[in-house]
Chain A
Amino acid sequence: MGDIKISKEKYEGIMILAECRSGKLEPVVYELLGCANEINEKLRTEISVVLLGSNIDKYCKSCIHHGADKIYKVDLPILDQINEEIYTELYYQIISKYKPEIVLIPSTIHSKSIAARLASRLDTGLTADCTSLDIDVTSRMLLQIRPAREGAIMATILCPEHRPQMATIRPKVMKCKAVDYSRRGQIISPNIKLPGNVKIKIIDVVKDIINQKYKSESEIIVSVGRGIKSKENLSIIEELANCLGAEIGATRPVIDQGWLEYRSQIGLTGRNVSSKIYFAIGISGAIQHTVGINSVDKIIAINNDKEAPIFKIATYGIVGDLFEVVPLLIKKIKEFQ
């Protein structure tokens, strides 16, 4: 605190903080590039990506092809794992030097923690989990839109005076731009100083093999809400998922009850999915769930309340008691197969 305040006019450009895990660039980075390019139609500025990691050279070109003008690359063995303290320090140095007016960050467990630390260190504003972004052309301000009050309303948030304006965005919310292999860009290796006396150490990183299937894109998801009423009743959902080769998802109330693990949670504070088919069983369709299924192809809703909001967005809706409908559906699918 007490730093000389640099006029916000001196801040220019959109900067994206890329996330690389286990040496692989997370696809959300391309989605953020798509989003940045869209708002850039109004802003008309430079789009850069900060790439920290080890052996991440190959991603420089692909980021440029997906819409970046500049890549700030720091490729060091020590960055192989995401030590958030080290990453925060390097991002802080780069942002302080290059002064972007907007910084976009993926909303993942690592990156959103880093985002919060950065915003705190930079004494600037950060809006979490934006579902869309826009630019107010007269003021050049970033309009950050996200659900509020557990999804009952949408709020437009501004960061009028402080810079950079920072926002985190979840995977599968934004769309990638079409790849342009002829695009050219600049790759820069900025001068950075690694922090001494790092206070956290990663002792081990363990990949959960059992849950790997949740990571990959499922074609079909069978999702369950409060209507299932108890953990025991989940057996019919499991059976339906099995006969379809589907992944199981759930709304927050189900996860809160401990009937399924957090990994299965779909929605505002869970995952976003983009499967071909999505069964919403015993799910009312409150906004904080439905923001997670915006990119799904076909939604099939089963609910005994014909006024349930889910029916407004479902491709096909069946009004009925799920305890009657689901077993019958399972029977018919098995007959069909």
Chain B
Amino acid sequence: MNIVVCIKQIQEYNNVDMHMGDKEKQSINPVDIFALEEALRIKDTIESKVTVVSMGIESVENTIRECIALGADEGVLFTDNAFAGADTLATAYLLSRGIAEIGKQDLIICGTHSIDGDTAQVGPALAEKLGISHTTHVTQIVNIGESNIICKRTVEDGYEIIELKLPALITVVKGINSPRICTIKGVLKSTRSEIRKYSSRDLDVNINLCGLKGSPTKVKGVYTVTHENKGKIIEGNSINEKLDYLVQCLF
């Protein structure tokens, strides 16, 4: 089985601090680790090739290497200034062209959403661009057959069992599995692996549909939120006193 796992490198912001531009470390989008693990579990049981792909800056190569250390067979990075500033549509477009370039895939696994963009849109949009079946919020792969895959998918008030024709794209939730840790063999392999890099010249893409240029949505402006202080901190000499007051107010 040819499996592609899409990953994203994100920056975690110190959200309590609320200073803009505070860069914390670069790391893999948390739920993508579960996506990778799900691919590796399939590889444990069915002969498969797992390719990790990402669209990002040059340093994302390191994050892809970490995925190879965990057990992925290959890594591919789509990197070019022209890809920068992409919204979800431009990202889905680029990924679709990139994946088409690396060859026919049976299954594409993504995380439900990234913790920075938070839209949960790239997975479905990518499936549309590739013209393949898909579903989101998968909590379990029930069965993989010759030509289809059966998934359990969580919804607000329960779950669904969905059968998809292959090739398919699924987005998986955090907690779908317990990710493995890398082995020494894996780390050694990752240091020796060549991460293929594709720029806009290497792919069959329309530059005008990539990056900021290809993004229909634009950020007009940002502002910080301030709350007026409309709350009341209960005063008192002891917790006991404060709670007595609270219970009185409430009941």
Q: Which residues of A are in contact with B by a Cβ distance under 8 Å? A: 1, 21, 84-85, 108-110, 112-113, 115-117, 119-121, 123-129, 143-144, 147-162, 199-208, 211-212, 215, 256, 258, 262, 268-269, 277, 284, 286-288, 298-301, 306, 309, 311-320, 324-325, 328-329, 332-333, 336
CA distance A41 to B122 in the complex (A): 33
Q: Considering only CB atoms, which chain A residue lies closest to B159 in the complex?
A: A206
CA distance A258 to B159 in the complex (A): 19
CA distance A71 to B45 in the complex (A): 50
Question: Are B233 and A128 within 8 A (Cβ)?
Answer: no
Q: Nearest 7 A-B pairs (CB), nearest first?
A: A125-B216, A199-B133, A120-B125, A116-B124, A125-B217, A120-B128, A162-B216
Q: Is B201 an interface residue (CB 8 A)?
A: no
Other-chain residue from A127, A148, A200 in contact with B135 (beta carbon distance below 8 A): A200
Residues of B within 8 A of A124 (CB): 89, 216
What are 27 A-B contacts defined by CB distance under 8 Å? Answer: A84-B135, A116-B88, A116-B124, A117-B125, A117-B128, A120-B89, A126-B89, A126-B217, A147-B225, A149-B116, A150-B13, A152-B18, A155-B221, A155-B222, A156-B221, A199-B164, A200-B164, A202-B160, A205-B160, A313-B227, A314-B231, A317-B232, A318-B246, A319-B233, A320-B242, A324-B239, A329-B246
Most chain-A CB neighbours within 10 Å: which of B221, B223, B227, B243? B243
Question: Are B217 and A258 within 8 A (Cβ)?
Answer: no
Q: A128-B120, A256-B30, A315-B232 are in contact. List 10 more A-B contacts (CB 8 A).
A: A116-B128, A117-B127, A126-B217, A154-B222, A200-B162, A200-B165, A300-B246, A309-B16, A314-B233, A336-B251
Q: Is B163 an interface residue (CB 8 A)?
A: yes
Q: Is B67 an interface residue (CB 8 A)?
A: no
Other-chain residue from B174, B221, B234, B243 in contact with A328 (beta carbon distance below 8 A): B243
Using a CB-CB cutoff of 8 Å, which residues 100-149 of chain B contact chain A?
113, 115-116, 118-129, 132-137
- Interface range on chain B (Cβ under 8 Å from partner): 35 or more
Give chain A nearest CB distance to B226 CB in angstroms. 9
| Residue interface bits B182-219, CB-to-A below 8 A is 1, else 0 | 00000000000000000000000010010000011111
Residues of A within 8 A of B15 (CB): 149-152, 286-288
Residues of A within 8 A of B137 (CB): 109
Residues of A within 8 A of B165 (CB): 199-200
Q: Is B161 an interface residue (CB 8 A)?
A: yes
Q: Is B181 an interface residue (CB 8 A)?
A: no
CA distance A300 to B233 in the complex (A): 10
CA distance A85 to B220 in the complex (A): 33
CA distance A264 to B51 in the complex (A): 34
CA distance A332 to B125 in the complex (A): 53
Give chain B nearest CB distance to A127 CB in angstroms. 6
Question: Are A116 and B121 within 8 A (Cβ)?
Answer: yes
Question: Are B239 and A143 within 8 A (Cβ)?
Answer: no
Q: Which residues of B are in contact with A by a Cβ distance under 8 Å? A: 13, 15-16, 18, 20, 30, 87-89, 92, 113, 115-116, 118-129, 132-137, 150, 154-165, 168, 173-175, 206, 209, 215-225, 227-234, 239-240, 242-244, 246-247, 249-251
Other-chain residue from B20, B243, B250 in contact with A318 (beta carbon distance below 8 A): B243
CA distance A205 to B162 in the complex (A): 9
Residues of A within 8 A of B87 (CB): 125
Contacts across chains A and B counted by CB atoms under 8 Å: 232
Other-chain residue from A110, A206, A312 in contact with B158 (beta carbon distance below 8 A): A206
CA distance A287 to B217 in the complex (A): 23
Residues of B within 8 A of A162 (CB): 216
Residues of A within 8 A of B209 (CB): 1
Q: Considering only CB atoms, which chain A residue lies closest to B164 in the complex?
A: A200
Q: Considering only CB atoms, which chain A residue lies closest to B127 in the complex?
A: A117
Give chain B nearest CB distance to A41 CB in angstroms. 21
Question: Are A325 and B16 within 8 A (Cβ)?
Answer: no
Give chain A nearest CB distance to B117 CB in angstroms. 9
Give chain A nearest CB distance to B14 CB in angstroms. 9
CA distance A325 to B116 in the complex (A): 35
Question: Are B219 and A156 within 8 A (Cβ)?
Answer: yes
Most chain-A CB neighbours within 10 Å: which of B115, B156, B216, B239? B216
Residues of A within 8 A of B155 (CB): 109-110
Other-chain residue from B20, B159, B240, B244 in contact with A152 (beta carbon distance below 8 A): B20
Give chain B nearest CB distance to A308 CB in angstroms. 9
Given A117-B128, A258-B175: A157 touches B219 (CB 8 Å cut-off): yes
Most chain-B CB neighbours within 10 Å: which of A156, A199, A206, A336? A199
Question: Are A128 and B133 within 8 A (Cβ)?
Answer: no
Question: Are A200 and B232 within 8 A (Cβ)?
Answer: no
Other-chain residue from B20, B116, B121, B168 in contact with A128 (beta carbon distance below 8 A): B121
Give chain B nearest CB distance to A266 CB in angstroms. 14
Question: Are B218 and A157 within 8 A (Cβ)?
Answer: yes
Given A112-B120, A119-B125: A204 touches B249 (CB 8 Å cut-off): no
Question: Are A312 and B229 within 8 A (Cβ)?
Answer: yes
Residues of B within 8 A of A298 (CB): 250
Residues of B within 8 A of A156 (CB): 219-223
